[in-house]
Structure 1
Amino acid sequence: MQKILVISFFLILSCAQKTQSHPPVGGFLYETDLTTSKNRAKNLNIAERAQIQHWINNQQEKFYPMSLNYWVNIENLSQHPRKADGEVVSYEYEIYDFDFVKLYDQPKENINVQFGRFEDIKAVEDALRYLKSGQVATLLVPSVLAFGTYGDNDKISNDMPLIIKIKVL
């Protein structure tokens, strides 16, 4: 009975230990840490791209890759005229996970935002540069272009790829 208790204690203790994935603020980053981080990012990107491609293959709607590493449901979107820095756009979008669960009740809305001064998801800014007024698009966004490793500290967890339905107002 004592052996079981001792083994259980060590198993619980080993589960409770967390390995550090990044150094603390102001800490030093060693070459091995950089290599570990690069490999993690590479493997995560490969896994998410496979997950998104699998999801696309099961849809009736077509999605097309963009150069920034996300997908959009508008063919040849990157060949549309591109808005320059300084131009203004108003837009709204809704965020879903890949089970198509809407993550927030209200759409996120931004009015009169200037290109080049965005504080939003990179894929959203990139797509908006090509969309026309009133146009709607669906984006499939890997986590690295969304909320990344930390999520949004609310409903979007870490390393979570997203579906974003965006509309130019």
Structure 2
Amino acid sequence: MKAIPIFSTIFKVNFCLSLLLMFLAVSCGQPEPRRPKDVKSGSYYEESIARSKEILAAEEALMQEIIKSDTLHKYRQSANGSWYYYDIKNETATYLPKPDDLVTMAYNLVSFENDTLYSMESKGVQVYKVDKQELFPGLRNSIKILKEGEVATFLFPSSLAYGYPGDGDKVGINMPLKATISILKVVPAPEETQQIQ
């Protein structure tokens, strides 16, 4: 009579060991890597680059037309690809804004067809910490070539403006911009901050 519980116990132990071994065998399999849903081919990127080059070439041609037809101003090309002229040039100032400086400024944004998108009044006077706050690339770079008291008008290709997405409001997709930027005040950062740069 006592043999039955022993067989029952051995059966239970064997059954549990079998389940454990099966579980271990299944869980020790190599994990399957997840595959990306959309695989972009090299031709997709090549097409995107070609499209970007075409847009830039068309926008550069537009800028050259504007420059050619504007006989009142002398345009200069910036190192980053924008064109600009001075509305007001400060001949006595020598200091150019550097990273961490505080620049008080005002600017507007106008389309190449001269439609005002944002006026200086609607944008308001802003205090910007150079290279430490988000601005579109053309504006961020332009601030660093203007001295206190200077006002300049810039032509930006869309790649230096808001690019493909626009700003989600008045600046459209791949829209080149004209901006007049006024530097009202430049407060240099403390020397120890500049030395860390």
**Aligned equivalent of 1:100, options 106, 114, 119:** 114
Identity of aligned residues (%): 27
Please tell me whether the aligned partners of residues 76 and 84 of structure 2 are also in contact (alpha carbons under 8 angstroms).
yes
Please tell me whether the aligned partners of residues 122 and 145 of structure 1 are also in contact (alpha carbons under 8 angstroms).
yes
In 2, distance between residues paired with 1:27 and 1:165?
43
Q: Which runs of 5+ in 2 are unaligned?
A: 1-36, 185-197
Please tell me whether the aligned partners of residues 81 and 130 of structure 1 are also in contact (alpha carbons under 8 angstroms).
no
Per the TM alignment, residue 44 of structure 1 is displaced from its structure 2 partner at its CA by 0.7
In 1, distance between residues paired with 2:82 and 2:183?
18
2:142 partner amino acid = A
Cα deviations by residue, 1:26-63 (Å, 9 ceiling, x for unpaired): 95432111101100111111110001101110012121
Secondary structure of 1:155 counterpart: coil
Please tell me whether the aligned partners of residues 97 and 162 of structure 1 are also in contact (alpha carbons under 8 angstroms).
yes
TM-score computed with the length of structure 2 as normaliser: 0.65
1:16 aligned residue: none
Per the TM alignment, residue 130 of structure 1 is displaced from its structure 2 partner at its CA by 2.0
1:6 aligned residue: none
In 2, distance between residues paired with 1:103 and 1:111?
17
> How many residue pairs were aligned?
141
Higher gyration radius (CA): 2
TM-score computed with the length of structure 1 as normaliser: 0.75
2:171 aligned residue: 156
1:38 aligned residue: 49
Give the RMSD, CA atoms, in angstroms: 2.2
2:105 aligned residue: 91
Q: Which runs of 5+ in 1 are unaligned?
A: 1-25
